[in-house]
Amino acid sequence: MRLRIIMLGLVVLLGVFLAQPLAFSGLFAPLTRNGAAPIYTQTPLLTLTLHHLALVAASTLAATLVSIGLAIATTRASGLAFLPLARAIANIGQTFPPVAVLALAVPIFGFGSGPTLIALFLYGLLPIFETALTGLTEIAPETRSAATASGMTAWQRLVKVELPLAWPVILSGIRLSAVIALSTATIGSTVAAATLGEVIISGLLTGNTAFVLQGAMVVAILAILINEGFLAIEAHAARRAGRPPG
């Protein structure tokens, strides 16, 4: 109950701040110098937050679909030989830092959200792939045999038995990928993507600590809310799958 109250408080605080940021001017004014503005107003904070979340959601969704697809393919008898290749694909994002991916993507896709989306997508593949692989491979052979014996086709067994049992584990990878993407997306502003990194970078360039704190605060609160939200969903999925909560 206490955690729920804290989460509700964070939601209310974030909502009020994004809706009426100027109301917090007095709070941030001591962090400014030489009469600088205490609240970032060049682009509405709510707009930047929504764009930031849209990038995270799109990249995480794409990474989830690709990663689960690779995990399913490589856990079938006909796809076991392709596991090293699938793992190599999932590791691409971890091989190159997001900044390097941005530098390589900008000449091809130009400035804006495109390069950032690609970097977040590649960076999010590995956590989801590995957890999906774990979830699918740890299902007891007896469970698969029982599903087959009941008359299920391979597709029905996958959809009705394997994926529901593996889902709580897969969700943990999606949660990790989403939280990583949320923080990593801030660097997208270096290539003109509309993210909360714009606020942080502006504060660093002008020496305005208030701007840096505002951007970091919003990202931090969002990270906490997303992480706790996924944990609640994971716990629910674990109960439905008959697993002990993670």
Q: pLDDT, tens digit, for every residue of 55-68?
A: 999 999 999 999 99
Q: Specify whether the CB–CB gap between 180 and 47 falls below 8 A.
A: no
Run of H or E residues at 187: none
Assess contact for 164 and 242: CB atoms under 8 A.
Answer: no
The CA distance from 64 to 60, in Å, is: 6
Residue 162 lies in a domain: yes
Encode pLDDT of 161-186 as tens digits.
899 999 999 999 999 999 999 999 99
Rounded CA separation 212/189 (Å): 14
Q: How confident is residue 142, by pLDDT bands cut at 50, 70 and 90?
A: confident
Average pLDDT rounded to a whole number, residues 117-126: 92
| Residue 147 located in a structural domain | yes
Total structural domains within the chain: 1
pLDDT surpassing 80 at residue 119: yes
How is residue 189 written in tokens? Answer: 């502003």
Is 55 among the domain residues? yes
| For residues 83-92, average pLDDT | 88
Domain range spanning residue 209? 41-241
- Give 170's contacts (C-beta < 8 A, 6+ positions apart): 68, 128, 131, 132, 135
**Which residue is it, tokens 């959601």?**
57
Q: What is the pLDDT of residue 246?
A: 53
Task: Give the CATH number for residue 133.
Answer: 1.10.3720.10
Percent of the chain with pLDDT over 70: 98
* 177 domain residue, yes or no: yes
SS3 32: coil
Is residue 163 situated within a structural domain? yes
Question: What is the overall mean pLDDT for the chain?
Answer: 90
Q: Is the per-residue pLDDT at 160 higher than 80?
A: yes
